[in-house]
């Protein structure tokens, strides 16, 4: 009887330990998924520096020539994923593929006073440059496990027309997979554009030509964030009075 009781006690202890182990694993998984700590599984960049067509520098601005950017570009056709979007370029080298609200899709392609009411979100952030008559857009896909780089190549046909000719993706050894494309984009002028968004990718050291300039940008960014926090605290105190 004593042996049986001792045996049962050991079994209960083992079961309890197993339950605790599963609880611990479940808790860790929840923390990882909800807090962004999945970066512990991060394997690095799936591209090399040579694959990057654009790197940031102090006051970086691409050499925009023979291309109108005070407005948006639209595609002749809805793309393969059936997304309705417009492509917008900013002078600081950032381009955004904006989603158009369905209620406004019927007025796309028309000249507008203000593009902002039509915007329903962002599909993709790009960093772009221009080489001769070719416009190159780099798109970084950052996940919990790796960062991918994809590039789009457009021939500038004239001030108002882009010809999308090539798509490229890269691997960690610097190799590339290239797909030929054939799509025409047309320009529509707009008086008031959406504000230039802050690009989080700019905080990565490997996105900069010079490490000292990257450090200077990080200090400037921190100072701006601290200033905003102080202003919010002051405003909160004034509201409570």
Average pLDDT, the chain: 81
233 is a domain residue: no
206 is a domain residue: no
Confidence of residue 137 (pLDDT cuts 50, 70, 90): very high
Do 136 and 171 lie in one domain? The reply is yes
Confidence of residue 113 (pLDDT cuts 50, 70, 90): confident
166 is a domain residue: yes
Which stretches of 36-107 are DSSP H helices? none
126 is a domain residue: yes
Do 75 and 170 lie in one domain? The reply is yes
Distance CA 229, CA 175 (A): 44
79 is a domain residue: yes
Do 34 and 117 lie in one domain? The reply is no
**pLDDT beyond 80 at 18:** no
Confidence of residue 30 (pLDDT cuts 50, 70, 90): low
Do 94 and 8 lie in one domain? The reply is no
Domain that holds residue 32: 2-38
Do 181 and 79 lie in one domain? The reply is yes
User: In this predicted structure, what is the pLDDT of residue 65?
Assistant: 76
Reported pTM: 0.76
Cα angle for residues 140, 145, 147 (degrees, 5° grid): 15
Do 137 and 28 lie in one domain? The reply is no
User: In this predicted structure, what is the pLDDT of residue 162?
Assistant: 96
Place of tokens 């400037």: 220
Do 32 and 148 lie in one domain? The reply is no
Calculate mean pLDDT across residues 113-138.
90
Q: How does pLDDT run across 35-46, given as a tens digit for each residue?
A: 455 566 667 888
Do 88 and 175 lie in one domain? The reply is yes
User: In this predicted structure, what is the pLDDT of residue 135?
Assistant: 95
Per the CB < 8 A criterion, the answer to whether 73 and 187 are in contact is: yes
Per the CB < 8 A criterion, the answer to whether 99 and 121 are in contact is: yes
Q: Is the dihedral of CA 184, 161, 107, 90 positive or negative?
A: positive
**pLDDT beyond 60 at 210:** yes
Do 31 and 54 lie in one domain? The reply is no
205 is a domain residue: no
Do 69 and 147 lie in one domain? The reply is yes
Q: Pick from 226, 205, 227: which is nearest to 214 by CA? A: 205
Do 77 and 192 lie in one domain? The reply is yes
236 is a domain residue: no
Q: Is the dihedral of CA 86, 114, 93, 186 positive or negative?
A: positive
User: In this predicted structure, what is the pLDDT of residue 236?
Assistant: 77
Do 121 and 74 lie in one domain? The reply is yes
Structural domains in the chain (count): 2
Q: How does pLDDT run across 48-86, given as a tens digit for each residue?
A: 999 999 898 877 888 777 889 999 998 876 555 455 788
Q: How does pLDDT run across 139-181, given as a tens digit for each residue?
A: 998 888 889 999 999 999 999 999 999 999 999 888 999 999 9
Pairing mode, strands 176-192 and 112-114: parallel
181-215 burial code (b ≥16 CB/10 A, e <16):
eeeebebbebeebbeeeebebbeeeebbeeeeebe
**pLDDT beyond 90 at 96:** yes
231 is a domain residue: no
Higher pLDDT, 143 or 89: 89
């Amino acid at each position: 009887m004593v042996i049986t009781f001792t045996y049962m006690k050991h079994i209960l202890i083992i079961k309890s330990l197993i339950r605790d182990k599963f609880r611990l694993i479940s808790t860790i998984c929840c923390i990882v998924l909800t807090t962004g700590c999945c970066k512990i599984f991060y394997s690095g960049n799936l591209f090399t520096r040579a694959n990057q067509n654009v790197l940031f520098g102090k006051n970086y601005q691409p050499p925009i020539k023979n291309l109108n950017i005070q407005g948006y570009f639209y595609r002749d056709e809805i793309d393969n994923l059936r997304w309705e979007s417009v492509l917008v370029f900013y002078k600081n080298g950032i381009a955004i593929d904006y989603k158009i609200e369905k209620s406004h899709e019927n007025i796309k392609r028309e000249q507008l006073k203000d593009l902002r009411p039509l915007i329903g979100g962002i599909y993709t952030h790009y960093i772009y440059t221009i080489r001769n008559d070719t416009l190159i857009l780099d798109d970084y896909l950052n996940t919990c496990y790796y960062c991918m780089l994809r590039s789009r190549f457009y021939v500038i046909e004239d001030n108002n027309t882009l010809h999308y000719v090539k798509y490229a993706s890269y691997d960690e050894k610097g190799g590339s997979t290239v797909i030929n494309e054939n799509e025409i984009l047309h320009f529509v002028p707009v008086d008031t554009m959406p504000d230039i968004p802050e690009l989080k990718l700019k905080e990565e050291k490997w996105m900069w030509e010079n490490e000292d300039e990257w450090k200077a940008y990080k200090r400037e960014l921190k100072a701006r964030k601290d200033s905003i926090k102080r202003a919010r605290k002051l405003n909160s105190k004034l509201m409570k009075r």
